[in-house]
């Protein structure tokens, strides 16, 4: 298998090209993506610090759009951040996420901002639970008010994430899905599309395989979370949107359809959820 087994159309619904991991060659990487089959990318903000960079990328490339939101990890206090500096949520707003949301409000008037996110719940890290639950609920309400989809981060927090999604019934995406097939089915029926990235191809990813088998292609999206989670057989390298080719081929094998069918349908799904012209 060549390094790029298929040529798309690839729509990466979850990327972080504003990450420092791309500082040395960001422009070269992005410039090269269309030749590798990439037709769309949704760049995800995680707080007010990277939101301007995300939007700048969206304006620099006609095939890049942005999601603007506050990631739950942005609520980590300075003494819990390790070597990383605290996010503006802490360093600028003193943990007052409501003030940060108010500061981000003008971004949603920009037509290149197509979603609220990345936001959600993360119980893997020592993020104060009450604060992140309140923030996530506020961002769901914002997505409903703006009539935009929401991009949901769910790490080790299924029950509480699902409870809020059931309560408010927003449309959007559950990014890097790690739940059960049964839950994926009702989420899809409620209007949440399910995102799969490189982790779905990892050896031992049996739960992801069951979810892929249970869902129709119309409910599936492809993503990277780049620079993280490069798929097999290039796991451990810096990821970029072109490597979705491996994820699409894996899903095609499970579904028994040509890879081109998976890429075309998931790209159409992405345009539908983000309300983009076909």
Check if the beta carbon of residue 71 is closer than 8 Å to that of residue 136.
Answer: no
CATH fold label, 10-274: TIM Barrel (3.20.20)
Q: Which residues of the chain have pLDDT under 70?
A: 1-7, 81-83
Kindly report the pTM of this predicted structure. Answer: 0.96
Task: Write the pLDDT tens digit of every residue in 43-73.
Answer: 999 999 999 999 999 999 999 999 999 999 9
Res 138: pLDDT: 98
The domain segmentation of the chain, as residue ranges, is: 10-274
pLDDT at 159: 98
Nearest Cα residue to 33 out of 53, 62, 59, 54 = 62
Residue 30 falls in which region: left (phi positive, over 0), alpha (psi -120 to 50) or beta: alpha
Task: Give the start-end residues of each E strand in 123-160.
Answer: 150-155
Q: Does residue 48 contact residue 18 with C-beta atoms inside 8 Å?
A: no
pLDDT at 179: 96
**Per-residue pLDDT at 3:** 46
- In a 13 Å sphere around the CA of 3, the CA atoms on its Cβ side amount to 9
User: Which pair of tokens denotes residue 163?
Assistant: 């409870």
**Considering only CA atoms, which of 35, 33, 34, 71 is closest in space to residue 51?**
71
């Amino acid at each position: 298998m060549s390094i790029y087994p298929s040529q798309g159309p690839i729509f990466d619904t979850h990327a972080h090209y504003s990450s420092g991991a791309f500082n040395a060659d960001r422009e070269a990487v992005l410039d090269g993506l269309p030749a590798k089959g990439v037709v769309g990318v949704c760049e995800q903000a995680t707080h007010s610090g990277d939101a301007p960079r995300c939007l700048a990328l969206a304006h620099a490339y006609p095939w890049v759009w942005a999601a603007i939101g506050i990631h739950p990890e942005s609520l980590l206090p300075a003494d819990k951040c390790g070597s990383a500096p605290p996010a503006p949520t802490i360093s600028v707003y003193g943990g007052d996420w409501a003030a940060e949301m108010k500061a981000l409000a003008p971004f949603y008037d920009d037509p290149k901002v197509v979603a609220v996110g990345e936001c959600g719940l993360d119980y893997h890290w020592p993020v104060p639970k009450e604060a992140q639950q309140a923030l996530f609920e506020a961002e769901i309400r914002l997505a409903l008010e703006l009539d935009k989809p929401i991009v949901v981060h769910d790490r080790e927090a299924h029950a509480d994430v699902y409870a809020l999604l059931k309560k408010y019934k927003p449309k959007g995406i559950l990014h890097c899905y790690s739940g059960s097939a049964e839950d994926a089915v009702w989420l899809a029926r409620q209007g949440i599309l399910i995102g799969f990235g490189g982790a779905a191809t990892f050896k031992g990813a049996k739960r992801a395989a069951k979810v892929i088998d249970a869902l129709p292609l119309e409910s599936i999206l492809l993503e990277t979370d780049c620079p993280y989670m490069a798929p097999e057989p290039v796991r451990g390298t810096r990821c970029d949107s072109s490597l979705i080719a491996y994820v699409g081929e894996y899903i095609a094998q499970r579904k028994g359809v040509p890879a081109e069918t998976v890429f075309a349908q998931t790209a159409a799904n992405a345009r539908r959820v983000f309300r983009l012209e076909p």
